């Protein structure tokens, strides 16, 4: 997946602004179905959050599905922060925003307050059998 550097910057800025160093936050990377290896937009869901989790507003999510269908876009990657180390928790495994093979979930440690980039991040992917597994970030995300 090709991710433009400005979108990575924008994502970290959003995660930091919303989380303010004390709460989790989620961002979504969208891309057109016509170019399935490309991220073209970052969006920030309406959500509630705590130091240990977040919940996306269902009405907002419904509106998003309508917009994605209308514009030919898909959610390619979900990104969220953790208070400490980045990993995929049992809750993260159980409640992805999209559950389809190839979907990517990126976890950023320490409420994204560290260096912008994926050095300490964790990337999980749903395989063809529908099971989450850790994958190497450089194999799936290319900042362009």
Between CA 114 and CA 14 the distance in angstroms is 13
- If we measure between CA atoms, which residue out of 79, 82, 24 comes closest to residue 48? 24
Min dist CB 93 to Zn ion, Å, is 21
| Residue number, 13 or 137, with CB nearest to Zn ion | 13
Minimum distance from residue 16 beta carbon to Zn ion (Å): 10
Tell me the two tokens of residue 22: 């004390």
Q: Contacts with Zn ion: how many residues (CB under 5 A)? A: 2
Quickly count: other Cβ atoms within 10 Å of residue 95's Cβ.
12
| Contacting Zn ion within 12-71 (CB under 5 A) | 18, 25
Residue number, 7 or 126, with CB nearest to Zn ion: 7
Q: Which residues bind Zn ion (CB under 5 A)?
A: 18, 25
């Amino acid at each position: 997946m090709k991710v433009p550097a400005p979108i990575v910057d924008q994502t970290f800025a959003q995660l930091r602004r919303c989380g303010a160093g004390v709460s989790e936050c989620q961002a979504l990377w969208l891309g057109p179905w016509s170019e399935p290896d490309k991220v073209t937009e970052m969006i920030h869901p309406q959500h509630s959050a705590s130091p240990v989790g977040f919940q996306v507003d269902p009405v907002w999510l419904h509106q998003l599905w309508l917009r994605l269908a209308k514009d030919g876009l898909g959610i390619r990657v979900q990104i969220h922060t953790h208070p400490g180390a980045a990993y995929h928790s049992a809750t993260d495994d159980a409640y992805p925003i999209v559950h389809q093979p190839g979907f990517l979930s990126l976890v950023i440690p320490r409420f994204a307050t560290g260096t912008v980039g994926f050095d300490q991040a964790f990337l999980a992917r749903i395989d063809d059998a529908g099971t989450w597994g850790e994958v190497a970030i450089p194999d799936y995300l290319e900042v362009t």
